[in-house]
């Protein structure tokens, strides 16, 4: 890098690397965020599956039957939506302070 940029002015180098740093930070935030939601959905689905197999959900009222997960083949749609809303709300509420630092 030094051999490439040694003839550039410090302002030009700062401009180039400043833009690249923003791109790098955005990519890292995206990668980090995609992993967070998947881990949360997996933990919730595992808890629902385990509770169903253990019989903990057998005597729930009718309006809570959506908690029963008889097969561990796919993540229920409501879990995906709940995690997406929670992540978006958390970012909207307090994420901007983290982004600023």
What confidence tens digit (pLDDT) does each residue in 57-66 have? 888 888 888 8
Number of domains in the chain: 1
Cβ burial, residue 41 (10 Å; 0-12/13-18/19+)? middle
H-only helix segments in 1-101: 2-5, 10-54, 77-90, 96-100
Is residue 55 left, alpha or beta, with left meaning phi > 0 and alpha meaning psi from -120 to 50?
Answer: left
Low-confidence ranges of the chain (pLDDT < 50): none
User: Domain range spanning residue 47?
Assistant: 2-100
> What is residue 80's predicted lDDT score, i.e. its pLDDT?
86
The whole-chain average pLDDT of the chain stands at 82
> What is residue 73's predicted lDDT score, i.e. its pLDDT?
76
> What is residue 99's predicted lDDT score, i.e. its pLDDT?
67
How many Å separate Cα 55 from the centre of its chain? 31
> What is residue 101's predicted lDDT score, i.e. its pLDDT?
64
> What is residue 67's predicted lDDT score, i.e. its pLDDT?
82
Distance set, CA 39 to CA 3, 11, 14, 73 (Å): 43, 42, 37, 16
């Amino acid at each position: 890098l030094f051999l490439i940029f040694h003839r550039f002015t410090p302002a030009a180098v700062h401009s180039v690397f400043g833009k690249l740093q923003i791109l790098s930070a955005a990519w890292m935030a995206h990668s980090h965020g995609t992993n967070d939601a998947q881990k949360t959905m997996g933990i919730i689905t595992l808890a629902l599956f385990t509770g169903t197999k253990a019989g903990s959900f057998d005597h729930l009222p009718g309006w809570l039957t959506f908690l029963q997960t008889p097969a561990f083949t796919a993540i229920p749609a409501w879990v995906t939506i709940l995690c997406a809303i929670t992540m978006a709300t958390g970012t909207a509420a307090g994420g901007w302070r983290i982004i600023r630092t």
